[in-house]
């Protein structure tokens, strides 16, 4: 019986292994956060007239077609208090009215640890878990521990109806 000598081939250097594991972890983390980052960066960098940021769309323009195209009707404009808002738990969205006739929508999921926000009052959206506060006007962080704004959601206001999507 013959046996081959036990001389293993050259092993990768420890630095190579550590770098590969780190790169794989970074790729997973970026993939997991990618969709949220896209939504918040496009909404936070755009002006207040952008429909993606939840701006008021009125009249008989494309907003009316959007409502009949399958969007979810959330509320009547009269249901959203000025300077406050309303949370729609089933849809995972909070709709605010920072100024008379201006409506915004944001994810109802806190960017700190993913808890559902619980209240809207005095110009802020509040997370009950660690008391992070977000602006009703743009979703930005007013008080931590959260460090990222609430991502904007797309709504359409047509007449007195507010439609998600």
- Residue given tokens 């969205």 in the structure block: 93
Q: Which two tokens stand for residue 36?
A: 């949220």
| Prediction pTM value | 0.58
More confident residue, 128 or 33: 128
Three-state DSSP class for 43? Answer: helix
Task: Compute the distance between CA of residue 82 and CA of residue 73 in angstroms, rounded to an integer.
Answer: 19
Model confidence pLDDT, tens digit, residues 90-109: 999 999 999 999 999 999 99
């Amino acid at each position: 019986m013959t046996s081959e000598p036990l001389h293993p081939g050259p092993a990768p250097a420890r630095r190579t292994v550590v770098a590969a594991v780190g790169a794989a972890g970074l790729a997973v983390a970026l993939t997991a956060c990618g969709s949220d980052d896209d939504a918040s960066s496009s909404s936070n960098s755009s002006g207040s007239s952008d429909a993606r940021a939840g701006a008021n769309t009125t009249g008989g323009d494309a907003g009316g077609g959007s409502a009949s195209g399958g969007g979810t009707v959330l509320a009547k404009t009269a249901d959203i208090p000025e300077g406050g808002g309303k949370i729609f738990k089933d849809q995972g969205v909070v709709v605010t009215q920072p100024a008379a006739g201006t409506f915004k929508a944001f994810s109802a999921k806190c960017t700190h640890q993913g808890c559902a926000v619980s209240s809207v009052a005095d110009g802020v959206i509040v997370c009950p878990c660690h008391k992070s506060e977000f602006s009703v006007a743009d979703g930005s962080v007013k008080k931590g521990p959260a460090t990222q704004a609430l991502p904007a959601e797309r709504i359409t206001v047509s007449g007195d109806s507010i439609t998600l999507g």
